[in-house]
Structure formats: C-alpha cells, structure tokens
C-alpha cells in the first residue's frame, strides 16, 4: 500500500491551481445517462473516484472516452443496455448511488448493491429512496441491494428531512424526465448542486432555484447532449488555504471562487491569517500575525463545510489557545483527533465535539493512518509542521479526492514523498 513521507518544511510559498470539483463531476457524469446524445465534460479532475464512475457508466453500456491531457471526458450513453451496478464497483465508491435516479428515469429500472457505510458514518440512503418513491418508483431494499422500478415517473412535492446533497441530486436528475412538476423542499444548497442544475438545464431540463432550499423542476420528454466545464473544487481550495496558514506561508490559490469558500475565509481571518481576493486568485498568508484559536461548527451549506473540518483540526493544533470543533453532519468524523494525538496534539473528543489545545505542545512526526480523504489530507498538512518526519499510510483515500496532492504541495516548497 502506498504512503506519504512528509518532512517538516518551512513556509509554503508560491501559487497553485485548483482542479475541477470531485463532488460536482461525479453527479454530472451520472447525469449523462439521461440522454442518448454525447456529452463533453471539461476541467475534469484526474481522481480514482472519477475512474470508478467511468467504469460504472461503461458497465451499463455507455461509451466513455477520457482525455487525461485535456482533462476532458466524453460520454455517449446512446447504447445503455443495463441498469445493474455490480457490488465490486459500488463498494469502491458510495457515489455510485448517484446513478440510481438517472437509470430509473432513462430505463425505468435500477439495481445496485447498497453503498454501505464508511469510516465517517453509516451513510444511509433513506432520503434518496423517499424522494424517488414520491416520484413513483417502486423501491425494494434488502440487506444487500436496492432495486428500483419505475415505468413512469410523475412530478411530486418532496420534503427532505435533512438537506442531503446526494438525495437532492438524485431526485433532481430523476425529476428532470418525470411528467409534470417536482418541488424539492429543504433541498441542499451546495455549489455542486448548482453546477449539476446548470449542466441539466444545458441538456434542456427546466430547473429553477438550485442553490436555495426550494428547487422546482418541470419535467421534459427528452434531454440532449451538451458541453460543460466543472466548477473548481472548493474543498481542495480550502485545503490549500489551510496549507498556507498552517505552514505560516504565502500562497496564491489560482482559479479559486471566493463565494464558494466564505466560511473558510471567515474562520481563517478569525485565526489571524490574511486572505486577499486578488485578480487571479485568493492569496492566503499565515506569516503576518500570530495565529490564534477559533471555534468551528459544521453545518449544511452555506455553513462551515464538514469536508473542511479535518484540515482545520490540524491547523488549530498549531495556534495559540484552545479551540472547539463540533461536527453536526456525520456521526463519526472526528477520528482525525486520535491520529493527531499520536503526533502530540492531545485532542479530547466528547461526543460530536473535539477540544483542541493549541501550540503548547508542538507536533512531532509519527506513523499515522488516513481514515477518510479529508482526514488523510489533514494529516499531510500536520506533517508539514511536525518535528521530524511523518508517514501517512492508506493514502488511497487522499488520491480519491485530490489530484496530484503531493506534487502541488512540493511545488510550494513542501517535501512530500510518495512511496509504495
């Protein structure tokens, strides 16, 4: 299994470009199932999760051409000839569930292994099933798989008990080809939802309100092919903003969209970092003021993103004063605390709260393990400033969601080596 070896380095300095958003490109690739015409997706990040989604599309009969040099994928789903997603693909990526809505809408049927949980939580799909049932799908779930059958989908009012990102996306995709109107109340508002809605509307869908908690969809008979460039990844943006702060460096994050990272900007400013919106990106400096504690509470967008909680936990172990972190989205997403404590951080976890003592105890290198992609990235950031060297294992988690993570950090002056 590959691992990263990180030497303590000085401040990161320079500029870095952000790749396309993983959590936008995955539902957008699933949405190409909705049409029998080719779709071209640009600014695609080269990630293992994207590879798995391409394998899933091929498995149901779509033609998928990937041009890695151009970061472009062309999907031609004319030849869809199956609606079954095998377990070995679903177990590699929970986001396979995003193909359920499009498969039902296009073929009237979908069958896939249950995505199952992961280290951050049980990851149920009850809200996906509730929404698709409201549109007329007959869904049966046994202990291993979910089977959905819908000869015809009819628009409906769907209230989401929790603003689930995936459920909002699945329902929006299915409703695009349902008969009549669908309204999703208490919908998720993430920028990736807006990017998916923009893609669907370019295919001929009629979606209004994406980015708010109420999305209206007027079903259409057919969707056509289109071309779309994916938005930059706001979580990769936030990760490099934190890398600049934790290393007390000065980094220009190019093609970052400030509006997508407002809570991250606010919390970095509270810690004493500076963030300037410059012509070609966001400049983050951690070398001007002494950095101090702040408190974090994760919430659905536009609140502080749960995917940025782990990188901030690493940062907060290096600042003056004690911080608190409350995780409200996933039931088990504070595991990074244990790994950082092995590096000397001495973080106390009580339920969904972590108490993070500041820099009274500087971090020292250790052998640690990535438990999910964001905690893995956070351990690399901690390794940049820990005395000695740090080994992060199970880095396949990181490579699911960060394109060329080590190369990008090293281009800023870090010393991160990938070894098998």
Smallest distance, Å, CB 346 to ligand EPZ? Answer: 26
Residue 46 CB, nearest approach to ligand EPZ (Å): 16
376 near ligand EPZ, rule: CB under 6 A: no
Q: Are strands 84-85 and 109-113 parallel, antiparallel or unpaired?
A: parallel
What is the distance between the alpha carbons of residues 76 and 84, in angstroms, rounded to a whole number?
18
Q: Looking at residue 179, what DSSP letter applies?
A: B
SS3 of residue 407 by DSSP:
helix
Identify the residue among 9, 96, 156, 164 touching ligand EPZ (CB under 6 A): 164
DSSP 254: E
Q: Which residue is nearest to ligand EPZ (CB)?
A: 166
Which residue's CB is nearer to ligand EPZ, number 127 or number 337? Answer: 127
Query: 310 is written with which tokens?
Result: 């782990």
- Using CB under 6 A, which of 6, 18, 26, 30 touches ligand EPZ? 26
Give me the least distance between CB of 27 and ligand EPZ, in Å please. 7
Query: DSSP strand E in 291-407: where?
Result: 295-297, 323-326, 348-350, 353-356, 367-369, 389-393
Query: Of 401, 402, 408, 409, which one interacts with ligand EPZ (CB under 6 A)?
Result: 401
Write down the least CB distance from residue 95 to ligand EPZ, Å: 4
Contact between residue 160 and residue 167 where contact means Cβ atoms under 8 Å apart:
yes
Beta-carbon contacts of residue 298 (< 8 Å; ≥ 6 apart): 304, 305, 306, 308, 309, 326, 327, 328, 329
Q: Which x/- pattern, by CB under 6 A, does the window 185-214 give for ligand EPZ?
A: ---x--------------------------
125 binds ligand EPZ (CB under 6 A): yes
How many C-alpha atoms does 200 have within 13 Å on its Cβ side?
A: 33
> Per CB under 6 A, which of residues 325..354 are in contact with ligand EPZ?
329-330
Q: Which two tokens stand for residue 246?
A: 């934790």
What SS3 state is found at 375?
Answer: helix
Among residues 39, 54, 118, 271, which one is catalytic?
A: 118
Dihedral angle sign, alpha carbons of residues 36, 21, 4, 16: positive
Backbone φ and ψ for 86, nearest 5 degrees, come out as: -70, 155
**Smallest separation, CB 113 to ligand EPZ (Å):** 16
Quick check: 121 binds ligand EPZ (CB under 6 A)?
A: yes
Could you say which residues in the range 75-104 bind ligand EPZ, by CB under 6 A? 95
Q: Is 374 in the site for ligand EPZ (CB under 6 A)?
A: yes
* Nearest distance in Å: CB 67, ligand EPZ: 23
Is residue 118 among the annotated active site residues?
Answer: yes
Residues 393, 39: Cα–Cα separation, whole Å: 37
Catalytic residue annotation: 118
Interacting residue ranges for ligand EPZ, rule: CB under 6 A: 22-23, 26, 95, 121, 123-128, 162, 164-167, 188, 306-307, 329-330, 373-374, 401
């Amino acid at each position: 299994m590959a691992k990263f070896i990180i030497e303590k380095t000085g401040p990161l300095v320079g500029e870095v470009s952000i790749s396309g958003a993983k959590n936008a490109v995955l539902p957008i690739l699933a949405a190409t199932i909705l049409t029998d015409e080719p779709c071209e997706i640009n600014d695609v990040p080269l990630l293992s999760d994207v590879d798995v989604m391409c394998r899933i599309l091929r498995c149901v009969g779509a033609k998928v051409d990937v041009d890695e040099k151009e970061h472009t994928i062309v999907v031609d789903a004319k030849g869809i000839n199956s609606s079954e997603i095998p377990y070995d693909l679903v177990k590699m990526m929970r986001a396979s569930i995003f193909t359920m809505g499009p498969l039902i809408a296009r073929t009237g049927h979908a069958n896939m292994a249950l995505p199952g949980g992961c280290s951050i939580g049980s990851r149920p799909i009850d809200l996906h099933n509730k929404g698709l049932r409201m549109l007329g799908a007959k869904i049966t779930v046994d202990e291993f798989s979910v089977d959905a059958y819908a000869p015809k989908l009819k628009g409906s009012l769907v209230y989401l008990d929790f603003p689930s990102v995936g459920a909002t996306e699945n329902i929006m995709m299915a409703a695009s080809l349902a008969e009549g109107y669908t309204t999703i109340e208490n919908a998720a508002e993430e920028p990736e939802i807006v990017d998916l809605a923009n893609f669907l509307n370019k295919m001929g869908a009629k979606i209004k309100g994406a980015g708010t908690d109420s999305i209206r969809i007027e079903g259409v008979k057919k969707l056509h092919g289109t071309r779309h460039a994916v938005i930059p990844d706001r979580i990769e943006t936030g990760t490099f903003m934190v890398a600049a702060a934790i290393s007390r460096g000065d980094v220009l994050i190019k093609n970052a969209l400030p509006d997508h990272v407002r809570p991250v900007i606010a919390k970095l400013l509270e810690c004493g970092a500076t963030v300037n919106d410059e012509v070609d990106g966001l400049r983050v400096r951690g070398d001007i003021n002494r950095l101090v504690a702040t408190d974090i509470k994760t919430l659905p967008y536009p609140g502080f993103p749960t995917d940025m909680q782990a990188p901030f936990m690493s940062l907060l172990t290096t600042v003056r004063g004690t911080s608190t972190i409350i995780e409200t989205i996933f039931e088990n997403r504070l595991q990074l605390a244990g790994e950082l404590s092995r590096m000397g951080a001495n973080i106390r976890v009580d339920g969904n709260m972590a108490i993070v003592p500041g820099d009274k105890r500087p971090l020292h290198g250790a052998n640690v393990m990535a438990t999910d992609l964001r905690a893995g990235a956070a351990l690399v950031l901690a390794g940049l400033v820990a005395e000695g060297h740090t080994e992060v294992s199970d880095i396949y988690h990181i490579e699911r969601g960060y394109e060329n993570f080590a190369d990008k950090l090293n281009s800023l002056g870090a010393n991160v080596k990938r070894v098998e």
